[in-house]
Amino acid sequence: MKTYNWISNSPEETNAFAEKLASFLQPGDVLLLEGDLGAGKTTFTKGIAKGLGIKRTVNSPTFTIIKEYQGRIPLYHMDVYRLEDTFEDLGFDEYFDGDGVTIVEWAHLIEDQLPTEYLKINLHHAGNDRRELMLEPVGKRYVLLCEEILS
């Protein structure tokens, strides 16, 4: 599987990269974010939100699991870290199949409920404000998306 790497040197760079990615997103797109606490998953999501024209402040939806925002395309932001029972069906499918862009932080925790195609983004601490982003597209649509944003 082809992966794409990108280095960020600051929260602002992560934000700007996500904002650029957002300009290529379409309704129904799914992004999975993986990485330790503080790796930058929520920072990345804020950039996506900005790029989708969302004015409201995006915060980590830790206690609500799913938050919805209205923009050029709606954003469904999920953080399943604190989901007690990861087999619990909260109707994730309706979001994945919906008219918005879905972002899932800690997606592997609901592995069995994920769609078959998505763009997975792994964020790694690489010292101080440096982060390594590894993009792993699954499905043709997401391979093309990676080619578009990284070429």
Binding status of residue 40 toward ligand ADP by CB under 6 A: yes
- When the beta carbons of 50 and 141 are compared against ligand ADP, the nearer one is 50
Beta bridge partners of 5: 134
Cβ 123 to ligand ADP, closest distance in Å? 6
Binding status of residue 129 toward ligand ADP by CB under 6 A: yes
Distance CA 53, CA 86 (A): 31
Distance CA 65, CA 83 (A): 7
Name 25's Cβ contacts closer than 8 Å, sequence gap at least 6. Answer: 48, 51, 52, 73, 101
- When the beta carbons of 21 and 33 are compared against Mg ion, the nearer one is 33
Per-residue contact string for residues 57-76; x = within reach of Mg ion by CB under 5 A: ---x----------------
Cβ 113 to ligand ADP, closest distance in Å? 20
Query: For tokens 């799913």, what's the residue?
Result: 66
**List of residues contacting Mg ion (CB under 5 A):** 41-42, 60
